[in-house]
């Protein structure tokens, strides 16, 4: 079910927001359909059943944003567009809400953060390029695996991973920073040495500025659903996977081992682990610059 709605407000503040405190979501629900998506719970508050199919479209999102920025005497804090759902999910092709949002952003010269799993963003490449000349634009995509046979099961509506990183690379040197979110790392599926190395190697080869990582987090009702997906599609790993996920998060000994490997790769490929702008990265920094910032919040996008 696709339903058009009129919103009263669209600019939301999150005290724990990461990496930004403000977001704007043109849609509720997400057709990308990542099976691990922990934003699914948010549909319960709306009385809707299916996060992947019941989509609310805020057709007046740009008008609302314009009013709010004017009213708030906006001081140009960075805003994440699409904090809870993917901004370039399939129905954006029809509704074209993003170009109108970018008009408002341009008018108020507000820095923005864009993160998407869809190459549909390239439709707006020229608009984003122009925007980058007048305000800071940071851009990111998240990839949990470059193995398409796994990607098709866990992220069925996302663009193929290689197309996503190619898309991201097109913004190198145009946007302030490009970041690959290697997330979620799915234990026993996308955590092998080959998977880990391939991801960092691709990021380096495509000239991406940063790689941030996060482990799979199975919140609430997502946990049993994801466990049965593993049981059906990857039965060989089910025993170890289910014992690792007796709760929503994984235990320390597993994560310590993977984090150690990630840090080695970060040093090997000299990739930063923060969602930070290039101009900050260019300042003389300590080795801790290569430390990864945990970003569970970004599991979902």
* Least gap, CB of 21 to ligand SF4 (angstroms): 19
Q: Assess 168 for contact with ligand SF4 (CB under 6 A).
A: no
Q: Assess 185 for contact with ligand SF4 (CB under 6 A).
A: no
Q: Assess 39 for contact with ligand SF4 (CB under 6 A).
A: yes
Task: State the Cα–Cα distance between residues 57 and 60, nearest whole angstrom.
Answer: 9
Lateral strand order in the sheet of 137-143: 11-13, 22-24, 79-81, 112-115, 137-143, 177-185, 210-215
Task: State the Cα–Cα distance between residues 153 and 118, nearest whole angstrom.
Answer: 16
CB within 8 A of 23, min separation 6: which ones?
11, 12, 14, 17, 79, 80, 81, 82, 83, 84
The dihedral built from the CA positions of residue 95, 98, 103 and 108, taken in this order, carries a sign that is: positive
Burial zone of 201 (CB within 10 Å; 0-12 exposed, 13-18 middle, 19+ buried): middle
Q: Assess 151 for contact with ligand SF4 (CB under 6 A).
A: no
Binding residues with ligand SF4: total (CB under 6 A): 11
- CB of 217 or CB of 241, closer to ligand SF4: 217
Q: Assess 42 for contact with ligand SF4 (CB under 6 A).
A: no
One residue of 151, 195, 266, 300 binding ligand SF4 per CB under 6 A: 300
- CB of 91 or CB of 281, closer to ligand SF4: 91
Residues 16-35 that bind ligand SF4 (CB under 6 A): 30, 32-34
Q: Assess 212 for contact with ligand SF4 (CB under 6 A).
A: no
- CB of 115 or CB of 132, closer to ligand SF4: 115
* Least gap, CB of 70 to ligand SF4 (angstroms): 29
- CB of 69 or CB of 218, closer to ligand SF4: 218
Residues 47-66 that bind ligand SF4 (CB under 6 A): none
- Examine residue 19 and say whether the peptide bond preceding it is cis (omega within 30 degrees of 0): yes
Q: Assess 301 for contact with ligand SF4 (CB under 6 A).
A: yes
**Of the candidates 66, 68, 56, the residue with the CA atom closest to the CA atom of residue 26:** 56
Binding mask 108-147 for ligand SF4 (x = CB under 6 A): ---------x------------------------------
* Least gap, CB of 52 to ligand SF4 (angstroms): 7
Q: Assess 86 for contact with ligand SF4 (CB under 6 A).
A: yes
SS3 180: strand
CA angle 53, 100, 139 (to 5 degrees): 75
CA atoms within 13 A on the CB side of 5: 18
- Residues forming contacts to ligand SF4 in the complex (CB under 6 A) are 30, 32-34, 37, 39, 85-86, 117, 300-301
């Amino acid at each position: 079910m696709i339903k058009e709605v009129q919103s009263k407000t669209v600019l939301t503040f999150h005290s724990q927001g990461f990496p930004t405190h403000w977001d704007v979501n043109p849609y509720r629900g997400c057709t990308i359909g990542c099976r691990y998506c922990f934003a699914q719970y948010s549909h319960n508050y709306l009385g809707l059943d299916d996060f992947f199919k019941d989509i609310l479209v805020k057709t007046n999102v740009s008008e609302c944003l314009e009013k709010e920025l004017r009213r708030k005497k906006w001081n140009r804090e960075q805003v994440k567009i699409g904090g809870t759902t993917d901004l370039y999910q399939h129905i954006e092709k029809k509704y074209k809400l993003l170009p109108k949002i970018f008009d408002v952003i341009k008018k108020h010269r507000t820095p923005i953060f864009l993160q998407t799993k869809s190459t549909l963003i390239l439709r707006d490449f020229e608009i984003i390029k122009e925007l980058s000349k007048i305000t800071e634009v940071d851009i990111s995509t998240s990839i949990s695996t470059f193995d398409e046979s796994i990607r098709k099961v866990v992220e069925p509506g996302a663009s193929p991973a290689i197309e996503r990183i190619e898309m991201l690379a097109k913004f190198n040197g145009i946007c302030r920073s490009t970041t690959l979110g290697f997330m979620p790392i799915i234990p026993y599926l996308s955590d092998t040495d080959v998977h880990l190395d391939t991801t960092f190697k691709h990021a380096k080869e495509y000239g991406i500025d940063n790689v941030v990582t996060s482990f799979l987090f199975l919140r609430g009702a997502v946990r049993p659903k994801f466990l049965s997906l593993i049981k059906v599609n990857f039965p060989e790993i089910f025993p170890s996977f289910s014992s690792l996920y007796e709760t929503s998060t994984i235990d320390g000994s597993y994560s310590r081992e993977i984090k150690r490997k990630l840090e080695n790769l970060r040093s090997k490929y000299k990739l930063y682990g923060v969602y930070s702008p290039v101009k900050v990265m260019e300042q003389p920094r300590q080795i801790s610059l290569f430390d990864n910032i945990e970003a569970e919040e970004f599991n979902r996008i």
